[in-house]
């Protein structure tokens, strides 16, 4: 992917509301051993589908999912800021609602933004592009997000080195 196209995609992603946008290759993830160690320790509990041969192979080589893959876009979309959301009037003790639940359902928001981004890319390159995206499913399932984000986010240049399997995003892109 040319530097010009990469920059155009990143700019469009930000225009669509993604706070970070990076590009990496579909090569085997450099931190795949972290995932394998996690499985070997039995941390996947009853999620046996994560440890089967097919699942492991697909996480090791994204081209098994989409053979035509040449680049992987790694995007970050912020949740609604709970500080700006309406405070609860419940008397103590009361709980807080997780920040992802304050705004619109991201399962509906993200695909619409991704469709728009794919359309932009297709206009830039002048032809349809094979694509596939995930929101809490596939190789970046929510159960493994903290574990697998470093595997794709760091090479894509959108996150710093992982610490305790969390990804730290800069406050400004």
**What are the extents of the domains in the chain?**
3-80+99-153
- How far apart (Å, rounded) are the C-alpha atoms in residues 57 and 100? 31
Rounded mean pLDDT, 99-127:
87
Q: 43: which 2 tokens? A: 């941390």
Q: What pLDDT band is residue 160 in, cutting at 50, 70 and 90?
A: very low
Kindly report, residue by residue over 56-107, the tens digit of the pLDDT. 898 888 888 888 888 888 888 887 665 555 555 666 666 666 666 777 888 8
Q: What is the mean pLDDT of the chain?
A: 75
- How far apart (Å, rounded) are the C-alpha atoms in residues 51 and 67? 22
Q: CA torsion angle for 63, 31, 33, 137 (degrees, to 10)?
A: -50
Q: What is the pLDDT of residue 136?
A: 61
Q: Is the pLDDT of residue 109 over 80?
A: yes
Q: Is 27 a catalytic residue?
A: no
Please pick, among 27, 37, 52, 136, the residue that the annotation labels catalytic.
136
Q: Is the pLDDT of residue 144 over 80?
A: no
Cα–Cα distance list, 119 to 5, 26, 115, 131 (Å): 14, 21, 6, 11
Q: Is the pLDDT of residue 131 over 80?
A: yes
Q: 26: which 2 tokens? A: 């579909």
């Amino acid at each position: 992917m040319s530097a010009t196209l990469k920059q155009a995609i990143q700019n469009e992603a930000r225009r669509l509301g993604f706070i970070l946008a990076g590009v990496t290759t579909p090569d085997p993830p450099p931190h795949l051993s972290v995932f394998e160690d996690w499985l070997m320790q039995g941390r996947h509990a009853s999620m046996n589908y994560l440890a089967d041969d097919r699942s492991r192979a697909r996480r090791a080589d994204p081209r098994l999912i989409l053979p035509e893959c040449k680049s992987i876009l790694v995007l970050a979309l912020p949740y609604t800021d709970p500080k700006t959301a309406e405070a609860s009037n419940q008397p103590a003790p009361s709980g807080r609602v997780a920040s992802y639940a304050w705004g619109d359902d991201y399962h509906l928001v993200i695909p619409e933004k991704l469709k728009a981004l794919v359309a932009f890319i297709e206009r830039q390159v002048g032809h349809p592009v094979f694509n596939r995206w995930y929101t809490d499913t596939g190789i970046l399932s929510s159960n493994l997000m903290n574990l697998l984000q470093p595997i794709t986010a760091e090479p894509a240049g959108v996150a710093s080195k992982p610490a305790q399997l969390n990804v730290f995003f800069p406050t400004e892109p």
